[in-house]
C-alpha cells in the first residue's frame, strides 16, 4: 500500500483535502480535514523517507517530451516538508473558530502547494506549485474585506509575474543545459539563472521587490495573515538554498535586506505591517546565510527557517488574537492589554524573545550560526550590518510589538482573553520555541535536522556568546527606556507609510491617468480629422468595390470578350518572352 503511494508527492494529499473542503458544507468535518491533512502528509513523508535514508527521487512523469520529477525528498527538502506540515497544523488550530469554507479550502491548497513545491525535483513542477501557492493564497487576502481587494490583485499580479519569470528562466536554463530541467544548483553562469534568481527574489522579498509583502499581509484576514506568513517566503528561501548556495551577490542583498525594514518598522503604526517588515528582515538573515554558503551558514539558515516559521507565526498569532478581540492592530489604538489578555501577552513576549534571540529562546541557537559564519569568512561589513539589524529586530519585534500592545499607556480597552484554540496554537508554538532552544538536549534535536555536513559542530551556549548577546539586548532595552524617558521615542501616529509600491500605486496610476486624459484630449482634437479621413477612405472603397462601383459596372458581353483576348495576348507574350 505504502509502496503504491510512495511515488505521490505528499503535498498532493493536502491539496486534495483542500479541494474536498471547497465542497464540504459541514464545518466540523472541514476543520477535522484541515487538522488531519498536514498530519497525514507528514506521516506520508516519514513513510517515504525514513530518517537518514538516501535521496528519494520518484513520481517521474513524461509531459510533452519533458521528464518531470514530481517527488524528490532529500535532507534539505524533508526539513521544509515537516516544517510546513507542522505550520499547517498550528495554523489549523489557530483558525479552528473560523467557519469559512473559502479560508479552509484555500489554506489547505496553499499549504499543500508549498509542501509539494519544496519536494519538486524539476523546475517545471516547481513552477506549477509556485503559481499554485500564489493563486490559492490570494483568497486569504481577499477574505480581509473590501479594502484588501486591490492589494490581493496586486499580490496576485506580482506572484504570477514571478512565476512567469521562473518559467522563462527555467526554459532558458534548461536550454543551456541540453534540455535538463532538473532543479539542483543553478548559479548565475547563464542568463536563465538571473531570471530564476529574480523570480525567487520577488517571492522572498529582495530589497525593492519586497513591497507586496507589506502591502498584502496586513490587509488579509486574521487567520489569513498567519497562514500567509508561514509558507510563501520560506518556499522561496528553500528554492534559493537549493539553487544559489554560495552566490556572493546574495550576501549583500541579504545584508541590505536585514537593515532597511528596520527603519520602516520603527515608524509603522499597523502592527501586522510591522511584523511584515520584521519578516522581511528575518528573511534577510537567511538570504545572507545562503550567500555565504559555508556548511555552518547553510545549516544556520535551515535552523533559522524552521524556528522562524514558528516564532513569526506566534507573533502574528498573538497580534491576530488581539485584533480578533479589539478589532484593530494599530499601535496607536492599543496598549495596556496585559490586564485583559495576560496569557496572550506572555505568549507574545515569548515570541518576541525568540525573534530577538534571547538566550534560551529560539533564534538564539540559529541566528548566531549565520553571524558566526560571516565572521569565519571574514565578511565583517555584512556581519556588522546583521548585528545592526539584530538591534533593529529587538526594536520592532522585541520591544515595539509587545510594548505597544500589552503595556505602554492603557488604552482602556477591556476585552476577553483570546479563544482557547488560539491560545492552544500559540502555546504549542511557544513550547516549540523554548524546547528547541533548550541547552540540555533541546537544540541538539534541531541540529540533528540540519542537512549539511556529518554532524553540526556548533555550540551556541558558550559563556561568551550568552554574555555578549545579553550585552546587546540589555543595551537595546536600556536605550529604549532612556529615549522613552527623555521623550525622544516617537509616539505612534496613524499614517500610511510609503514604500516602493508607491511607484506603481501612485506614480504608475498617475501616469496611467495622465495618458488616458491625454488620449481623450487628443482624440477629441483629432476626431473631425479622423472621421473625415475614415469617411473619405470608405467612400473611395465604396466607389470602387460596391455593386454600383466601378468594378461592378455591368458591361456588355463585348468587354469581357475583349478582356479574354487581352488575357490571351498577355499569356502569349509571357510564354514567348519571359525567361
With residue 387 as reference, give the H or E element that holds it.
helix 380-393
Q: With contact defined as beta carbons under 8 Å apart, do 497 and 264 qualify?
A: yes
Q: Helix axis angle, 101-118 relative to 27-48, nearest 10°? A: 10
State the nearest-atom distance from the C-beta of 107 to another protein, in Å.
Answer: 17
Confirm or reject binding of residue 485 to another protein (CB under 8 A).
yes
Question: Which residues 503-522 are close enough to bind another protein by CB under 8 A?
Answer: 505-506
Residues that contact another protein, how many (by CB under 8 A): 106
Task: Please tell me the distance from the alpha carbon of residue 69 to that of residue 411, in angstroms, as a whole number.
Answer: 56
Q: With contact defined as beta carbons under 8 Å apart, do 350 and 430 qualify?
A: yes
For 76-106, the DSSP string reads HHHHHHHHHHHHHHHHHHHTTT---HHHHHH
The phi, psi pair for 548, rounded to 5°, reads: -95, 5
Confirm or reject binding of residue 336 to another protein (CB under 8 A).
yes
Question: Which residues 440-469 are close enough to bind another protein by CB under 8 A?
Answer: 462-464, 467-469
Task: Please tell me the distance from the alpha carbon of residue 311 to that of residue 368, in angstroms, as a whole number.
Answer: 16
Question: Which residues 111-150 are close enough to bind another protein by CB under 8 A?
Answer: 144-147, 150
Confirm or reject binding of residue 53 to another protein (CB under 8 A).
no
Confirm or reject binding of residue 537 to another protein (CB under 8 A).
no
Q: Which stretch binds another protein (CB under 8 A): 13-21, 250-258, 301-309, 482-490?
A: 482-490
Specify the residue for cell string 502555546: 427
Q: Which stretch binds another protein (CB under 8 A): 287-295, 306-314, 353-361, 373-381?
A: 373-381
State the nearest-atom distance from the C-beta of 51 to another protein, in Å.
Answer: 32
The phi, psi pair for 270, rounded to 5°, reads: -75, 115
Confirm or reject binding of residue 534 to another protein (CB under 8 A).
no
- Per DSSP, what are the bridge partners of residue 73? 56
Question: Which residues 391-450 are close enough to bind another protein by CB under 8 A?
Answer: 391-392, 394-395, 407, 409-414, 417
Q: With contact defined as beta carbons under 8 Å apart, do 242 and 183 qualify?
A: yes
State the nearest-atom distance from the C-beta of 150 to another protein, in Å.
Answer: 5
Q: Quick one: which of 55, 185, 448, 471 contacts another protein (CB under 8 A)?
A: 471
Residues, the chain: 579
Q: With contact defined as beta carbons under 8 Å apart, do 303 and 369 qualify?
A: yes
Non-local (6+) Cβ contacts of 261 within 8 A are 210, 277, 278, 280, 281, 284, 392
State the nearest-atom distance from the C-beta of 306 to another protein, in Å.
Answer: 25
Angle formed at CA 289 by CA 283 and CA 291, multiple of 5 degrees: 105
Confirm or reject binding of residue 550 to another protein (CB under 8 A).
no
Residue closer to another protein (CB basis): 165 or 288? 288
Q: Quick one: which of 99, 494, 527, 539 contacts another protein (CB under 8 A)?
A: 494
Residue closer to another protein (CB basis): 517 or 559? 559
Task: Please tell me the distance from the alpha carbon of residue 467 to that of residue 458, in angstroms, as a whole number.
Answer: 17
Residue closer to another protein (CB basis): 483 or 515? 483
CA distances to 102, 376, 464 from 459, rounded to whole Å, are 45, 15, 11
Task: Please tell me the distance from the alpha carbon of residue 268 to that of residue 396, in angstroms, as a whole number.
Answer: 9
Q: Quick one: which of 5, 29, 482, 518 contacts another protein (CB under 8 A)?
A: 482
Residue closer to another protein (CB basis): 73 or 372? 372
State the nearest-atom distance from the C-beta of 505 to another protein, in Å.
Answer: 5
Q: Quick one: which of 190, 340, 427, 444 contacts another protein (CB under 8 A)?
A: 340
State the nearest-atom distance from the C-beta of 530 to another protein, in Å.
Answer: 20
Task: Please tell me the distance from the alpha carbon of residue 306 to that of residue 301, in angstroms, as a whole number.
Answer: 9
Confirm or reject binding of residue 103 to another protein (CB under 8 A).
no
Confirm or reject binding of residue 102 to another protein (CB under 8 A).
no
State the nearest-atom distance from the C-beta of 34 to another protein, in Å.
Answer: 21
* Residue 7 exposed, middle or buried by CB count within 10 Å (0-12, 13-18, 19+): middle
Q: With contact defined as beta carbons under 8 Å apart, do 265 and 395 qualify?
A: yes
Q: With contact defined as beta carbons under 8 Å apart, do 300 and 357 qualify?
A: no
**Using CB under 8 A as the criterion, what x/- string covers residues 295-334 for binding another protein?**
----------------------------x--xxx-x--x-
Question: Which residues 256-285 are close enough to bind another protein by CB under 8 A?
Answer: 262-264, 266-267
Measuring CA to CA, which residue among 192, 267, 223 is closest to residue 88? 223
Confirm or reject binding of residue 493 to another protein (CB under 8 A).
yes
Confirm or reject binding of residue 97 to another protein (CB under 8 A).
no
Q: Quick one: which of 311, 383, 443, 447 contacts another protein (CB under 8 A)?
A: 383
Task: Please tell me the distance from the alpha carbon of residue 270 to that of residue 275, in angstroms, as a whole number.
Answer: 9
Confirm or reject binding of residue 94 to another protein (CB under 8 A).
no
Q: Which stretch binds another protein (CB under 8 A): 44-52, 82-90, 359-367, 537-545?
A: 537-545
Specify the residue for cell string 479552509: 104
Question: Which residues 54-73 are close enough to bind another protein by CB under 8 A?
Answer: none
Q: Which stretch binds another protein (CB under 8 A): 9-17, 169-177, 278-286, 487-495?
A: 487-495
Measuring CA to CA, which residue among 263, 256, 470 is closest to residue 384? 256
Confirm or reject binding of residue 343 to another protein (CB under 8 A).
yes
Q: Which stretch binds another protein (CB under 8 A): 161-169, 170-178, 226-234, 474-482?
A: 474-482
Q: Quick one: which of 5, 182, 483, 503 contacts another protein (CB under 8 A)?
A: 483
Q: With contact defined as beta carbons under 8 Å apart, do 347 and 285 qualify?
A: no
**Using CB under 8 A as the criterion, what x/- string covers residues 1-40 for binding another protein?**
----------------------------------------
Confirm or reject binding of residue 221 to another protein (CB under 8 A).
yes
State the nearest-atom distance from the C-beta of 85 to another protein, in Å.
Answer: 29
Amino acid at each position: 500500500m505504502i509502496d503504491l503511494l510512495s511515488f505521490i508527492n505528499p503535498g498532493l494529499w493536502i491539496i486534495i483535502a483542500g479541494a474536498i473542503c471547497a465542497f464540504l458544507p459541514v464545518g466540523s468535518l472541514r476543520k477535522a480535514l484541515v487538522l488531519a491533512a498536514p498530519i497525514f502528509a507528514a506521516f506520508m513523508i516519514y513513510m517515504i523517507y525514513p530518517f537518514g535514508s538516501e535521496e528519494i527521487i520518484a513520481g517521474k512523469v513524461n509531459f510533452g517530451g519533458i521528464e518531470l520529477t514530481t517527488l524528490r525528498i532529500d535532507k534539505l527538502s524533508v526539513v521544509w516538508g515537516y516544517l510546513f506540515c507542522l505550520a499547517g497544523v498550528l495554523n489549523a488550530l489557530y483558525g479552528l473558530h473560523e467557519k469559512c469554507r473559502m479560508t479552509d479550502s484555500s489554506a489547505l491548497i496553499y499549504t499543500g502547494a508549498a509542501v509539494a513545491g519544496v519536494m519538486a525535483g524539476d523546475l517545471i513542477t516547481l513552477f506549477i506549485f509556485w503559481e499554485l501557492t500564489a493563486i490559492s493564497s490570494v483568497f486569504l487576502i481577499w477574505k480581509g474585506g473590501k479594502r484588501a481587494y486591490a492589494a490581493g490583485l496586486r499580490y496576485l499580479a506580482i506572484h504570477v509575474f514571478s512565476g512567469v519569470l521562473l518559467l522563462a528562466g527555467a526554459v532558458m536554463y534548461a536550454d543551456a543545459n541540453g534540455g535538463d530541467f532538473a532543479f539542483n544548483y543553478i548559479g548565475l553562469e547563464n542568463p536563465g539563472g538571473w531570471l530564476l534568481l529574480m523570480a525567487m527574489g520577488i517571492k522572498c522579498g529582495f530589497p525593492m521587490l519586497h513591497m507586496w509583502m507589506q502591502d498584502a499581509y496586513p490587509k488579509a484576514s486574521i487567520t489569513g495573515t498567519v497562514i500567509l506568513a508561514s509558507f510563501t517566503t520560506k518556499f522561496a528561501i528553500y528554492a534559493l538554498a537549493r539553487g544559489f548556495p554560495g552566490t556572493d551577490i546574495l550576501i549583500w542583498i541579504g545584508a541590505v535586506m536585514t537593515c532597511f525594514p528596520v527603519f520602516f518598522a520603527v515608524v509603522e503604526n499597523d502592527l501586522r505591517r510591522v511584523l511584515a517588515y520584521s519578516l522581511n528582515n528575518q528573511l534577510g538573515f537567511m538570504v545572507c546565510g545562503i550567500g555565504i554558503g559555508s556548511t555552518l551558514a547553510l545549516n544556520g539558515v535551515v535552523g533559522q527557517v524552521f524556528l522562524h516559521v514558528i516564532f513569526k507565526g506566534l507573533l502574528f498569532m498573538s497580534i491576530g488574537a488581539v485584533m480578533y478581540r479589539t478589532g484593530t492592530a494599530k499601535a496607536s489604538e492599543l496598549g495596556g492589554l496585559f490586564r485583559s489578555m495576560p496569557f496572550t501577552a506572555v505568549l507574545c513576549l515569548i515570541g518576541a524573545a525568540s525573534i530577538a534571540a534571547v538566550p534560551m529562546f529560539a533564534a538564539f541557537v540559529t541566528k548566531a550560526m549565520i553571524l558566526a559564519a560571516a565572521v569565519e569568512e571574514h565578511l565583517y561589513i555584512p556581519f556588522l550590518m546583521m548585528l545592526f539589524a539584530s538591534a533593529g529586530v529587538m526594536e520592532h519585534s522585541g520591544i515595539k510589538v509587545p510594548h505597544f500592545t500589552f503595556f505602554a499607556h492603557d488604552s482602556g480597552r477591556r476585552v476577553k482573553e483570546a479563544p482557547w484554540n488560539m491560545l492552544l496554537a500559540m502555546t504549542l508554538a511557544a513550547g516549540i520555541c523554548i524546547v528547541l532552544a533548550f541547552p540540555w538536549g533541546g537544540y541538539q534535536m534541531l541540529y540533528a535536522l540540519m542537512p549539511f555536513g556529518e554532524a553540526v559542530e556548533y555550540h551556541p551556549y558558550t559563556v561568551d556568546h550568552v554574555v555578549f548577546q545579553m550585552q546587546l539586548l540589555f543595551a537595546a532595552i536600556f536605550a529604549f527606556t532612556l529615549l522613552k524617558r527623555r521623550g525622544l521615542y516617537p509616539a505612534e501616529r496613524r499614517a500610511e507609510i510609503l514604500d516602493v509600491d508607491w511607484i506603481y500605486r501612485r506614480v504608475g496610476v498617475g501616469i496611467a491617468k495622465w495618458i488616458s486624459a491625454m488620449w481623450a484630449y487628443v482624440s477629441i482634437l483629432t476626431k473631425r480629422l479622423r472621421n473625415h479621413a475614415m469617411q473619405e477612405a470608405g467612400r473611395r472603397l465604396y466607389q470602387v468595390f460596391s455593386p454600383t462601383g466601378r468594378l461592378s459596372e455591368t458591361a456588355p458581353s463585348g468587354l469581357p470578350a475583349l478582356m479574354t483576348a487581352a488575357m490571351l495576348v498577355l499569356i502569349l507574350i509571357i510564354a514567348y518572352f519571359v525567361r
